[in-house]
A and B are shown apart, each in its own frame.
Chain A
Amino acid sequence: MTTHQPAAAIRPLRAPTRRRLRLDVVEIVPWALFALLFVIDVILQPAAASLSSFGTTTLDALPLVLVAAGQTIVILTGGIDLSVAGVMSLTSAVLATHMTSGGTALWILVAVGIGAVSGYANGFITAVLGMQPFIVTLATWSILGGFALLVLPTQGGQIPGGLSNTLYGSAAGVPNAIWLLILVLLVWAWSRRTRLLRRIYAAGSDLEAARLAGARPRSTLIAAYVLCGVLAALAGTVYTVQTSSGDPVGGNAFVLTSVAAVVIGGTRLSGGRGGVFGTVAGAYVLTYIADVVFAVGLPSFWAPLIQGALLIAAVLVRSLVDVIRSRRSLQS
């Protein structure tokens, strides 16, 4: 984490927008991997090639896409957010016990509020007190998880049917899940040009240089964690609607998968490089692994095993690529 990259430090504020136009190998790899898994899945079960089947898989992937998008933003600053698990569990518990068919919008707002408040707490403690992100978010994960268990001690509760109809429905012949995914990609494409996102990239490239360039890392960091909290809350909402019941520990599985989607998607763990496009591919890769595991007739328990191994493999490949690149740039 102490490897300084002078080139990136000098032009951190403009680098993301300019450099992104040129396609990077690191950005192609996750999509290629996704394509490969998709093809394997289609060979194993030809029905997977249909639009409705792709929509179903997209719906499966959607909570992960949302929470991993938030995780991407935090990791771009050089941090990590383990508390996404707690946010997802708590929103799941709250929605499954309180949401009524009349007040769905209100309760989704409450969920978003939970995410925003816990994200603000994470960001404030990390940025202002200077504590390590992983220990802060480990602690808030524990706290939020505790509240989730207080609200809903075991799996249960229910969600108004209207919401799941919307989620499972389709518009103009295209499943709604795919529309939502397109929305996520469009929002990312737009937000990447905003000042906030450029500051987030800058904070990850070099915190000190970013501060000197007037990027106000404190408020940038807080904003990054708030965005992550909100996205985790939305992920929790989709997850709860999908399963149409609450799970007070349901978020825990997403700590690994959200980080894995980000890393497989090519975002550098020390921050400053990568983005949500890659992460979406990473989320699809992880979801299709579960699909392929199912298709070849293995019990679903194999999925976390492969996902964990893939996370470590992706980290190793990524650091290898970085080492080779820095050697090459030293030689030239």
Chain B
Amino acid sequence: MTAVPKALGNLVRAQRPIVLAYAVMVALFVIVSAASPGFASPSHLRTIVQLASFIAIVGIGQTFVIIGGGIDLSVPWALNGSAVLLTTFTGGHSAQLAWVIPALLAMGALVGLVNGLGVAYLRVSPIIMTLGMYAILEGGLLVFTHGGASKRSPHAIVSLATGRWGPFPILLVLWIVLGAAALFALSRTVFGRQLYAVGNNAEVAELSGVHVKRVTVLTYVVSGLTAVIAGILLTGYTGTAYLGMGDPYLFASVAAVAIGGASILGGSGHYAGTIAGALTLTILSALLPILNLKPAVLQIIYGLVILLTVGATTVRTRGRT
């Protein structure tokens, strides 16, 4: 009978940062919904979950990359690219999606592949490689769209991103599917174990037979893919695509991973934490209109959250060693 509390106690001890992230998220939610009637209404909850899903989906890739000891600064433009190319290639016609979505996914994988090859094989630092990719994608898209006018998204994507499956938003269902895959990959696969090994110490991992370069490349490929998926869904949710719609997702995805307790140096953290991070950030953003604050405050909050959580993780890990 004591097995369950004991296992729970072990879990809390082993995953303290993640448990803490959920505690913060729940506490925040309770306080806000007590202070503001209607906050916890089903329709508002649906909106929060839908908005959180974009951060959380971009956060899948960012979590993988950060656990591996890197960072992906190119996500805003991978997202912009997928959004704008989706509306351009389909011309607003749902029938075209059959080839456009696979093409976009391939493009996301290619962007990640180039990032990963640069970081792993050419030994360019992740910041520089993904910053360069950021500029290349930005320039490439501006060239392609001649400065980029906003365009309508196909109906099928709109109904996918805004639709419901019973009481649940379809976005939530998609997030659960993708998130479950991420959780499974990190916890239950060889790749997951190797990824933590690479993030902890790449040399040791290499010596113990891990193909470090392949693992690193794969994390960036995942990040390119999830940014593209988020771009597709966001285009459906907002009904249009414009350059700049991905801008907040760099800070947001890094902040979500940081709240989730991952060390920015790699080797620790989990997607379970990123989920709590994405929800926390979204609750905070839903708080702004209630407090009569401008949306720009959100960007300040992202920054403070990154500083505080990464600072706490840094101090904690330094105390341990």
Binding site for B on A (CB under 8 A): 1, 80, 82, 125, 129-132, 134-136, 138-150, 153, 255-256, 259, 263, 269, 299, 301-309, 311-312, 315-316, 319
Contact = CB atoms under 8 A, between A and B. Distances in A.
Contacts of A306: 139
B132 A319 contact: no
A256 to B, nearest CB: 5
Given A129-B314, A150-B296, 18 more contacts: A129-B315, A135-B258, A135-B264, A139-B302, A142-B299, A143-B304, A143-B307, A145-B299, A146-B297, A146-B301, A150-B300, A299-B142, A299-B143, A301-B139, A301-B147, A309-B136, A311-B128, A319-B123
A306 B143 CA distance: 11
A131 B314 contact: yes
B146 A299 contact: yes
Nearest to B299: A146
A35 B214 CA distance: 41
Contacts of B129: 312, 315
Contact of B138 (A145, A263, A304): A304
Given A143-B304, A308-B132, A269 B125 contact: yes
A188 B138 CA distance: 33
A80 B139 CA distance: 23
B296 A139 contact: no
Contacts of A139: 302-304, 306-307, 310
Contacts of B140: 305
A18 to B, nearest CB: 29
Contact of A256 (B134, B299, B310): B134
Interface string B301-321: 111101100110011001000
Contacts of A312: 118, 124, 128-129, 132, 136
Contacts of B297: 146, 150
Given A135-B306, A142-B306, A319-B123, A308 B251 contact: no
Contacts of B294: 149-150, 153
A308 B303 contact: no
Contact of B307 (A125, A256, A259, A269): A125
A145 to B, nearest CB: 6
Contacts of B306: 135, 138-139, 142
A259 B131 contact: yes
B71 interface: yes
B311 A125 contact: yes
Nearest to B148: A301
A52 to B, nearest CB: 29
Contact of B251 (A142, A149, A269, A309): A142
B127 interface: yes
B183 interface: no
Nearest to B315: A129
B307 A136 contact: yes
Give the interface centre of A1, A146, A269 by most chain B CB atoms within 10 Å.
A146
Contacts of A144: 303
Contacts of A319: 122-124
Nearest to B147: A301
A254 B88 CA distance: 29
A263 to B, nearest CB: 7
B265 interface: yes
Contacts of A309: 132, 136
8 contacts: A80-B127, A150-B297, A307-B139, A308-B135, A311-B128, A311-B132, A315-B129, A316-B122
A86 to B, nearest CB: 9
B311 A129 contact: yes
Contact of B300 (A130, A142, A301, A304): A142
Give the interface centre of A134, A138, A303, A311 by most chain B CB atoms within 10 Å.
A138
